[in-house]
């Protein structure tokens, strides 16, 4: 059996600690532009981009015992337990030479949120929320998903329903704590990024990925 490709510890782990890590959650509905804006944030502000879905898929492909378990959850149509997802995020952060992270599309629900805070003992610096109305999200997904199996309107409605029922309460929770930076995501990519830059520019200067201070 192969071992996990995400080891639990990393030599030189002084580059990462829960006390010094800066975490930004990036949330918004499917089609809101998270996947477009995150690489721009990495390029301009030196953050490391983590995506929970990508980490889960990488673990499956590693054929580790953990990956087999994740695969089985997916095959059975079950949600992967939040603790597993958080542990993968934690390990990826420990492997990074950076201390600042944008976590894309996570937490998706309240269980994700509480698991992250309980395991990591970190609250996000802020939540970057790409706000976009349902009609616009539907139109964008239909346009980008042409030819894909899941491009029918019923599947899109189900995805949006899950988002509004599960993820919006997370955004509302952080909003009540004054931690949400809302971006109007209906505009052009460049216009949206101007607002994103304004938000991130308020943080202290960020070391480039891979640099050591």
Is 34 a known ligand-binding residue?
Answer: yes
35 is in an annotated binding site: yes
What's residue 23's pLDDT? 96
Query: Can you give the pLDDT at residue 76?
Result: 83
Q: Annotation-wise, does 113 bind a ligand?
A: no
CATH superfamily name and code, 22-48+86-198: P-loop containing nucleotide triphosphate hydrolases (3.40.50.300)
* pLDDT digit string, tens, across residues 11-66: 433 445 667 889 999 999 999 999 999 999 999 999 999 999 899 999 999 988 88
Give the tens place of pLDDT for each residue, 174-197.
999 999 999 999 999 999 999 999
157 known member of a binding site: no
Question: 31: annotated binding-site residue?
Answer: yes
Q: What percent of the chain has pLDDT over 70?
A: 84
What's residue 206's pLDDT?
44
- Phi, psi of 212, rounded to the nearest 5 degrees: -120, 125
Asked if residue 60 belongs to a known ligand binding site, the reply is no
7 annotated among ligand-binding-site residues: no
> 180 — phi, psi (to 5°)?
-100, 130
Would you give the DSSP letter of residue 15?
Answer: G
The response to whether 106 counts as a known ligand-binding position is: yes
Residue 13, preceding peptide bond in cis (omega within 30° of 0): no
Q: In percent, how much of the chain has pLDDT > 90?
A: 66
**123: left (phi > 0), else alpha (psi -120 to 50), else beta?**
beta
Q: Any binding-site annotation on 78?
A: yes
Q: Any binding-site annotation on 105? A: yes
**What are the domain boundaries of the chain?**
22-48+86-198
pTM of the complete model: 0.82
Residue 36 annotated as lining a ligand binding site: yes
pLDDT higher than threshold 50 for residue 99: yes
């Amino acid at each position: 059996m192969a071992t996990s490709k995400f080891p639990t510890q990393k030599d030189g782990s002084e580059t990462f600690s829960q006390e010094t890590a800066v975490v930004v959650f990036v949330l918004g509905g499917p089609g809101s532009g998270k996947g477009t804006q995150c690489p721009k944030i990495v390029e301009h502000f030196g953050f490391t981009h983590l995506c929970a879905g990508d980490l889960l898929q990488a673990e499956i492909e590693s054929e580790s015992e953990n990956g087999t378990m994740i695969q089985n959850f997916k095959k059975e149509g079950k949600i992967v337990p939040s603790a597993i997802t958080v542990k993968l995020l934690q390990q990826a952060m420990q492997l990074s030479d950076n201390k600042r992270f944008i976590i894309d599309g996570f937490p998706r629900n309240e269980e994700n949120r509480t698991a992250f805070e309980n395991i990591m003992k970190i609250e996000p610096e802020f939540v970057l929320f790409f706000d976009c109305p349902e009609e616009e999200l539907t139109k964008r997904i239909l346009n980008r998903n042409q030819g894909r199996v899941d491009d029918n309107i019923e599947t899109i409605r189900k995805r949006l329903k899950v988002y509004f029922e599960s993820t919006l309460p997370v955004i509302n929770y952080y909003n009540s704590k004054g931690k949400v930076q809302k971006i109007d995501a209906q505009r052009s990519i460049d216009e949206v990024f101007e607002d994103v830059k304004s938000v991130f520019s308020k943080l202290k200067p960020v070391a480039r990925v891979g640099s050591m201070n």
